[in-house]
Structure 1
């Protein structure tokens, strides 16, 4: 089931309807990362200038700036999940609707969360992702442990974010969370696939759209199991 869902999601990411969303998502993600990079490098320059490092130790200044740049690159890799989750909040419902309409044409489409709820939901997950990945960054220099912590944290966070977003188009937020917990093994396996994408440069920029497309397929497949959890909320139901 997961392999079929991944294939369907990959096909959707590069399909014509999703390409416009893909480019907007990439542009916003890269723009935010560049803005963060710019802000942090200016902060480093200010610190060096305020402590007269440039004037007193020019060689040390150059070395420090180089090492800081390399450190920022590592730091940005660790905050990428938080940035992608934040970006995803603006596009996930549109992408999910396209996937539902094209891959499941005979089934009723879901309903987007209210704008305010969706934004708060994305901000909450982005903040949680940032905290977890900063904790993983602290363990970066511990062999193996740092990478395992990064992978495990993002497998959980990404599976939770994207599955509940896909499921909440048909269920209340509480029901979506309950369904994710009930099928925890399957959703976490899908999250591991997304976390694997996160460690591959450039490919990780595709994670938001691939993630929601994947979880739309996973949610549809899991909805055919267990009647108690499979019954969606009525279209007129207000969340």
Structure 2
């Protein structure tokens, strides 16, 4: 698994990955800029206090709060936009590292969009719950990593597996190899916990989970499991 993580890290700055990175980060920054302008405009419009100095102080505090909030949203927003392009990344990894094997097929457009939206909303929801625990509860960091490890491992594995299998087979593989997938999810969760670096997380996670899925495929065939030849 560590070898797979190292290979995925090395690939992040390759040309195909950079193209997806610039597209997703550009869209993310555009969205965050729009949100910033809208929220700042609302604060200025509705904040009316009798003392100018107090109004100025609260405007500064609210501005700092907006920066923190938008920084928190940066990673999920990047995941949302990167999700549109992740099949490109998976295909590159499959062709480069597994040239003798068939290349997977992308999900239908609408199903891919709905899956990405669902995943993004779940990640945002879990992190909104986990963030106060991280800040105010001693074991919050553990909850944060466990929750994100489970979610990220599950969703990115499904992305890799559904390129080759239907939903039923992908679920069987995920349940049968849940321990390995959870550990892979923890690696991805550690990557997402680093500010700014987490903007690269969707690319790393996709490449990493393609390798994990390939290893699971190999193990299933060797053990005569669900993917064994008929």
Q: TM-score, normalised by structure 1?
A: 0.85
2-structure distance, mates of 1:210, 1:202: 13
**Residue 11 of structure 2 aligns with which residue?**
12
How far 1:140 moved relative to its partner?
Answer: 4.8
1:201 aligns with 2:195: yes
1:207-226 paired onto structure 2 within 5 Å:
207-226=201-220
Structure 1 position 129 matched with structure 2 position 103? no
Are 1:101 and 2:95 matched, yes or no? yes
Q: Distance in 2 between matches of 1:217 and 1:207?
A: 15
Distance 1:151 1:43, change over 3 A: farther
After TM superposition, the structure 1 stretch with the greater mean CA deviation from structure 2, 28-37 or 217-226, is 28-37
Aligned length: 226
Matches within 5 A, 1:1-239: 2-48=1-47, 52-53=48-49, 56-227=50-221, 228-230=225-227
- Give the whole-Å Cα distance in 1 for the aligned partners of 2:130 and 2:39: 19
Cα contact 1:26–1:205 (8 A) shared by 2: yes
Change (3 A) 1:72 1:157: farther
Misfit runs of 4+, over 6 Å: none
Relative distance call for 1:78 and 1:202 in structure 2 (3 A) is closer
1:141 & 1:132 partners in 2: Cα distance? 15
CA distance in 1, matches of 2:228, 2:90: 19
Unaligned 5+ runs, structure 1: 233-239
Q: Identify unmatched segments of 5+ residues in structure 2.
A: none
Backbone CA RMSD of aligned residues: 2.0
| Structure 1: distance between partners of 2:81 and 2:32 | 11
Provide the rounded CA distance (Å) in 2 between the counterparts of 1:104 and 1:34: 40
Change (3 A) 1:77 1:146: farther
Q: Which moved more, 1:147-156 or 1:89-98?
A: 147-156
